[in-house]
Amino acid sequence: MGKGNGRSEIRSEARSEADKVTLDLDRELPASEDGDNPTRPAASPESAGPDSEVQKLRAERDTLLDRLARAQAEFDNARKRASKEQQDYRDYAVADAVKALLPVMDSFERALQVKSDASDLRSGVELIYKQLQSALARLSVNPIASKGEPFDPHYHEAVEMVETSDAPDHQVIEELQRGYKFKDRLLRPAMVKVARNPGK
């Protein structure tokens, strides 16, 4: 009987030791894979993924913002360049027009310096007038035909309607001020008198 009791005591002590070892193992943290720091848990691929994705998106955003800023600067430069070119074109166009009219001014100055009778003065003015017409024609400025033409509200401005039986109804019978076109664009309408003839 004494032997049996001794064996059971040894068994119970062995069990309690095994239970202690099991409890100690339960309390221990799992060992790290690299073995450097057993208390730090290993980083999972899921936790590292979002950070790298955010960095990638930030880099892409910065690149796009830089490209946008460059594109805006190029657009502003192109707009300024186009505006300057348009202004230069207008300035040179006016310069060409004035250059074409300078010979007419020279002729007027020469005519005013000469002392002559009325007939010579008239012929000189007629010559200058032809010279001016030629200069305007070179600039594509042409007079609008009016007298004897049917009234056209696109090119004529009627200042008076005249009752007459000598001209057809709505015909221009007198031009008070000549109208001009630049190429196909109206510069100034002709001021005219228009016939009113109910019989025709």
pLDDT tens figures, 19-53: 554 545 445 445 544 444 444 444 444 445 678 89
Closest CA to 174 of 158, 188, 197: 158
Tell me, yes or no, whether 129 and 64 share the same domain: yes
Inter-residue contact 189 to 167 (CB < 8 Å): no
Q: What is the mean pLDDT of residues 132-149?
A: 90
Between 15 and 147, the more confident residue is 147
Is residue 74 in some structural domain? yes
The pLDDT of residue 18 is above 60: no
Which of 121, 139, 157 is the last residue before a domain boundary?
139
Quote the pLDDT of residue 41.
Answer: 47
How far apart, in whole angstroms, are the C-alpha atoms of residue 130 and residue 84? 37
Mean pLDDT of the chain: 80
Tell me, yes or no, whether 150 and 125 share the same domain: no
Quote the pLDDT of residue 13.
Answer: 57
Handedness of CA 18, 21, 26, 31 (dihedral sign): negative
Q: Give the CATH number of the domain where residue 200 resides.
A: 2.30.22.10
Q: In one letter, which amino acid is 88?
A: D
Q: What is the mean pLDDT of residues 151-176?
A: 92
Tell me, yes or no, whether 117 and 174 share the same domain: no
Collapsing DSSP states into helix, strand and coil, what is residue 119? helix
The band of 83, judged by pLDDT with boundaries at 50, 70 and 90, is very high
Radius of gyration of the chain (CA): 52
Tell me, yes or no, whether 125 and 160 share the same domain: no
Which of 88, 122, 139 is the last residue before a domain boundary?
139
Quote the pLDDT of residue 123.
Answer: 84
The band of 6, judged by pLDDT with boundaries at 50, 70 and 90, is low
Q: What is the mean pLDDT of residues 141-165?
A: 92
- The DSSP string of 1-13 is -HHHHHHHHHHHH
Tell me, yes or no, whether 135 and 155 share the same domain: no
The pLDDT of residue 15 is above 60: no
Quote the pLDDT of residue 106.
Answer: 86
Is residue 65 in some structural domain? yes
How far apart, in whole angstroms, are the C-alpha atoms of residue 74 and residue 72? 5
Between 95 and 155, the more confident residue is 155
Q: Number of C-alpha atoms within 13 angstroms, CB side, residue 28? A: 10
The pLDDT of residue 2 is above 70: no
Q: Give the CATH number of the domain where residue 108 resides.
A: 3.90.20.20
Collapsing DSSP states into helix, strand and coil, what is residue 33? coil
The pLDDT of residue 170 is above 70: yes
Domain carrying residue 149: 141-200
Number of domains within the chain:
2
How far apart, in whole angstroms, are the C-alpha atoms of residue 100 and residue 86? 21
